[in-house]
């Protein structure tokens, strides 16, 4: 089979190489999927830039989410069978014509959904669901800020917050993205290139702040977010995009910009900071991942979750697709498709 290997850290144009390798075999509890489409995630960009310590050593095959047809199941797999059309979270290895993964990270694609769209359900929508439904319990009327709301995870968070009847604030960096946020039901879209989100929140809430923040920007954004929380507020930190394009000094500064916190600060202000890493959840709590995936698929069946496809690229254009995601041009999910 063909697989796209990351052979070099750094710029996308020289980072990848297509190679022929043996097709993997499904072991106990695993499924083998003939991949029709695989998704890009911002973590792939971080891995390409050598900033993702969990990524396998180079040369390696990246890829967290695939959609395709099950061709083989290992012993003790009961939730899917050969011939099923599925979406699955892969622990790397997704940039390939076949991918093997844990059956518990695999779910049948909702009846009305195409394969490309379904790639968004596993990593991005599961992360959003885990953050918003398991780590934070959203209530009707809650004021919720979704940073980078036009992105993959951001889109899912907004859809879930809307379903929970929250008042939604969300940031993005272009006019087009702000229109997308409005069309998605965001009551308070904020262009972070022209407006300071902390000041905007202060003004709109009359100084009270918001109840929940989802932040994958990191650095100063977290410090300002923590200040923007109302009493009883929670900030969910699940990424550090701010660090992706910086040199070592910039990274150290961004790390310090997060701020320094003491439990007494949380207690006195009655605020909480929550960390989310789906890779840890997938590795250590596959049962939890399975629960999230089932909930996400069920919400997608009901139409609550409806991933947006930002752009579909042929696999040969992997470098262009990486640049598209890295340079903040994408909205929703970026998908790669194998050509027939
Ligand atoms: N912890 C976890 O388990 C987990 C799981 C999935 C994803 N994540 C994280 O969640 C975030 C979103 O992931 P995604 O795959 O859905 O990506 P995405 O949001 O679709 O794409 C990245 C977006 O982030 C925004 N951004 C903010 N600062 C940026 C920077 N310095 N460089 C580039 N983009 C920046 C840009 O949108 P605007 O310019 O409009 O803001 C950009 O379009 C990423 O940080 C990712 O690492 C974490």
Query: Cβ neighbours of residue 12 under 8 Å, at least 6 residues apart?
Result: 48, 318, 319, 320, 322, 323, 326
User: Could you tell me which residue, 34 or 54, shows the higher pLDDT?
Assistant: 34
Q: Do the beta carbons of residue 56 and residue 92 sit within 8 Å?
A: yes
Nearest 5°: phi and psi at 44?
A: -65, -40
pLDDT confidence tier of residue 306, bands split at 50, 70 and 90: very high
CB contact set of 243 (below 8 Å; sequence gap of 6+): 51, 218, 219, 250, 251, 254, 255
In whole angstroms, give the CA distance from residue 121 to residue 65: 8
| Atom 31 in ligand 1: residue holding the nearest Cα | 242
Q: What is the pLDDT of residues 220-270, one digit of tens each?
A: 999 999 999 999 999 999 999 988 877 888 888 888 989 999 999 999 999
CA separation for the pair 66, 19 (Å, rounded): 18
Span 139-276 CATH architecture: 3-Layer(aba) Sandwich (3.40)
pLDDT digits (tens, 9 = 90+) for 96-147: 999 999 999 999 999 899 999 999 999 999 999 999 999 999 999 999 999 9
Q: Is the CB of 90 under 6 A from ligand 1?
A: no
What tokens were used for 101?
A: 């993964």
Contact 148 CB / ligand 1 (< 6 Å): yes
Write the class of the CATH domain 2-122+279-337. alpha beta
**Is the per-residue pLDDT at 37 higher than 80?**
yes
Question: What confidence category does residue 285 fall into, taking pLDDT thresholds of 50, 70 and 90?
Answer: very high
Is residue 72 within 6 Å of ligand 1 at its C-beta? no
What is the mean pLDDT of the segment spanning 50-65? 93
41 lines ligand 1 (CB under 6 A): yes
Query: At 136, phi and psi to the nearest 5?
Result: -130, 135
- Tell me what pLDDT residue 249 has: 84
pLDDT tens per residue, range 157-204: 999 999 999 999 999 999 999 999 999 999 999 999 999 999 999 999
CB 209 within 8 Å of CB 202? yes
pLDDT for residue 250: 84
Sequence ranges of the chain with CATH classification 3.40.50.720: 139-276
Report the pLDDT value the prediction gives residue 154, as an integer from 0 to 100.
Answer: 98
Domain with CATH 3.90.180.10 in the chain: 2-122+279-337
Helical (H) or strand (E) element with 32:
strand 30-39
């Amino acid at each position: 089979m063909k697989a796209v290997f990351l052979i070099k850290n750094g710029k996308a144009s020289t980072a990848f190489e297509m190679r022929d390798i043996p097709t993997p075999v499904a072991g106990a509890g695993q499924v083998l999927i003939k991949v029709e489409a695989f998704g890009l995630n911002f973590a792939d960009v971080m891995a390409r830039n050598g900033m993702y310590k969990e990524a396998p050593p180079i040369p390696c095959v990246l890829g967290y989410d695939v959609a395709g047809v099950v061709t083989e199941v290992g012993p003790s797999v009961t939730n899917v069978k050969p011939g099923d059309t599925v979406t699955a979270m892969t622990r790397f290895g997704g940039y390939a014509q076949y991918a093997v993964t844990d059956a518990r990270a695999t779910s049948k694609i909702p009846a009305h959904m195409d394969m490309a769209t379904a790639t968004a359900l596993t990593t991005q929508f599961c992360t959003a669901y885990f953050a918003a439904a398991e780590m934070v319990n959203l209530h009707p009327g809650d004021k919720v800020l979704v940073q980078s709301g036009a992105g993959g995870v951001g889109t899912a968070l907004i859809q879930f917050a809307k379903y929970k009847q929250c008042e939604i604030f969300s940031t993005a960096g272009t006019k087009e993205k702000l229109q997308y946020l409005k069309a998605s039901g965001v009551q308070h879209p904020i262009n972070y290139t022209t407006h300071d989100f902390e000041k905007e929140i202060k003004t709109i809430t009359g100084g009270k702040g918001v109840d929940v923040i989802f932040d994958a920007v990191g650095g100063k954004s977290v410090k300002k977010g923590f200040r923007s929380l109302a009493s009883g507020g929670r900030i969910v930190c699940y990424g550090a995009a701010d660090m992706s394009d910086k040199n070592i000094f910039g990274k150290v500064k961004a790390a310090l910009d997060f701020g320094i916190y003491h439990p007494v600060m949380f207690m006195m202000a009655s605020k909480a900071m929550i960390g989310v890493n789906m890779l840890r959840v997938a590795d250590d709590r596959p049962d939890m991942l399975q629960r999230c995936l089932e909930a996400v698929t069920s919400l997608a069946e009901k139409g609550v979750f409806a991933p947006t496809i930002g752009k579909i690229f042929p696999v040969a254009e992997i470098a262009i697709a990486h640049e598209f995601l890295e340079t903040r041009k994408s909205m929703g999910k970026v998908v790669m498709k194998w050509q027939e």
